[in-house]
Amino acid sequence: MIAFKVKSTVTYPNYQRLSEMISDRSIQESWQSKSEELEKQTPLERIEWAGQTFGNQLVMTTSFGIQSALMLHLATKVIPDIPVIFIDTGYLFPETYQFAEALKERFNLNLKTFTSKMTAAHQEAKYGKRWEDGPKGLEAYNLDNKVEPMNRALKELGAKAWLSGLRRVQSKSRKDLQIIDQQNKTVKIHPVLEMSERDVYYYFQKHDLPFHPLWDQGYVAVGDWHSTVPLEEGMSAEETRFGGEKRECGLHEVSGNADWQI
């Protein structure tokens, strides 16, 4: 089981940020070395390092999903006012919006909500239900509703680094992630990367944290209502999203646009 150390709130030293030099190849290579060092540290120590390194250029994301309280609890222990990016597609479950309000109040979140440039109704009128149009339709839907808003959020907030709650056990696409990775122009830090489901459960019990309300209805992951189903016998967790065609919604994949942040 992973040990946690409570750290005091971060104060930012006045020195040139490493993040200003991420385009330099030598600095990019240094992330691997630092990532190996951070493997030996606790999630809270990793968050503290990120805060000290990137200062006000550090953000985090939340989907207000099944286990989102984990990263929100950890990050706000160390950096109470960290900007928390929430991508609202307009297709989330009602329970997700209710959960978001509860966690926002509990952790006093500095929440930054971003949406598509086109409303859900306008999109359906113009394109139809793209999530039903196979991989290409789903990719286009995710680009407009998740990836583009996230890219815009990072730009508007001046972010160079992103705290993400990905864990290796969640899917095949995440099993080879490092504590520090770079996604296009953005440095990603994964503080809870090696936590198991048991680690998460015990952390929730210890700190009296809530799971998403749909957890009790068999959901092991929660995204848009039209692309998420409860876990049934014989299914893997990955098959509960996007009809089993893919696990990632695009936020954690390189966009392919060199001018974008992700």
Nearest C-alpha neighbor of 228 from the set 212, 252, 206, 208: 212
Helix axes of 94-107 and 69-78: crossing angle, nearest 10 degrees: 20
DSSP secondary-structure letter at 167? Answer: -
Residues near 191 by Cβ (< 8 Å), separated by ≥ 6? 43, 44, 46, 47, 50, 71, 74, 75, 163, 165, 179
Contacts 24+ apart (CB under 8 A), 171-176: 171/237, 171/238, 171/247, 171/248, 172/238, 172/247, 173/247, 173/248, 173/252, 174/247, 174/252
Under 8 Å CB-to-CB from 184, ≥6 apart: which residues? Answer: 254, 255, 257, 258, 260, 261, 262
Residue 239 identity (one-letter amino acid): E
End-to-end CA distance of the chain: 32
Tokens 């990793």, located at residue = 46
Instruction: Considering the candidates 18, 249, 251, 262, report the single residue annotated as catalytic.
Output: 249
> How is residue 182 written in tokens?
């770079």
Based on the residue annotation, tell me whether 213 is a catalytic residue of this protein.
Answer: no
Distance CA 119, CA 157 (A): 22
The order of strands in the sheet holding 58-61 is 110-115, 83-88, 58-61, 161-163, 186-189, 180-183
Q: List residues with catalytic annotation.
A: 249
